[in-house]
Amino acid sequence: EIVLTQSPATLSLSPGDRATLSCRASQSVRGYLAWYQQKPGQAPRLLIYDASKRAAGVPARFSGSGSGTDFTLTITSLAPEDFAVYYCQQRSVWPTFGQGTKLE
Amino acid sequence: QVQLRESGPGLLKPSATLSLTCSVSGGSIRSSYWSWIRQPPGKKLEWIAFIYQSGDTTYNPSLRSRVTISIDTSKNQFSLKMNSVTSADTALYYCARIGETAAGTPGYFDSWGKGSLVTVSS
């Protein structure tokens, strides 16, 4: 099983700040990594796939980077609706998720 | 825009068999891959299984011995059965579509249902 470790567990920021979330894989997943946003009481929403491609309808302030074992989700200028939990997920082998980063 | 809706028992007793169904609307189940994912309270997401419209299946190795995923293209539905449930199986169960890559392989979870809460308790 490929283990994904996200850091930090909690990120405390304010609207307008820049957020940087990290996801590290226990072995290379090449570029097969996605980021999801989950708000309370809602299903996850796909934001970024293949490490750096934005899903349809995702604002340009969300960007992803990385390859191999180290990945980053960056949110420039946080909007109030961006405060949520973010998960990374790999599909290199069978799918696994990180434990999440809560952006508060 | 495809929509997914889970239906399930809500509450079941330990050692029982869990049956969940996902109804797909706004699109045909005869394309893409279809999956089940669960989230125990306060915990991370765990992928359970996925199925292709052809009936080909792939399972999480840690759950494979207890789980069966199936598809009914005539009803535009797919289902999950999990036997011998315990309290550890208490979770919110989501069904989701996996987008198909250009190579025809499973991509990412791009559409989700709202989830069905399953509680295992005596």
**Amino acid at position A94, single letter:** W
Chain A partners within 8 Å of B115 (Cβ): 43
Say which of A1, A43, A89 has its CB closest to residue B94. Answer: A43
For residue A93, the model assigns a pLDDT of 85
- Between strands A62-67 and B106-112, the pairing is unpaired
The model's pLDDT over A70-94, given as tens digits with 9 standing for 90+, comes to: 999 999 999 999 999 999 999 998 9
B80 and B96 Cβ atoms separated by less than 8 Å? no
The model's pLDDT over A25-44, given as tens digits with 9 standing for 90+, comes to: 999 999 999 999 999 989 99
**pLDDT exceeds 90 at position B101:** no
The DSSP bridge partners found for residue A65 are: A72
B39 and B91 Cβ atoms separated by less than 8 Å? yes
Q: How far is Cα B71 from Cα A70, in angstroms, rounded to an integer?
A: 36
Q: Could A43 and B113 be called an inter-chain contact, meaning their C-beta atoms sit closer than 8 Å?
A: yes
Chain A partners within 8 Å of B107 (Cβ): 49, 91
Say which of B44, B58, B113 has its CB closest to residue A94. Answer: B58
**pLDDT exceeds 90 at position B31:** no
Tokens describing residue B115? 């989830």
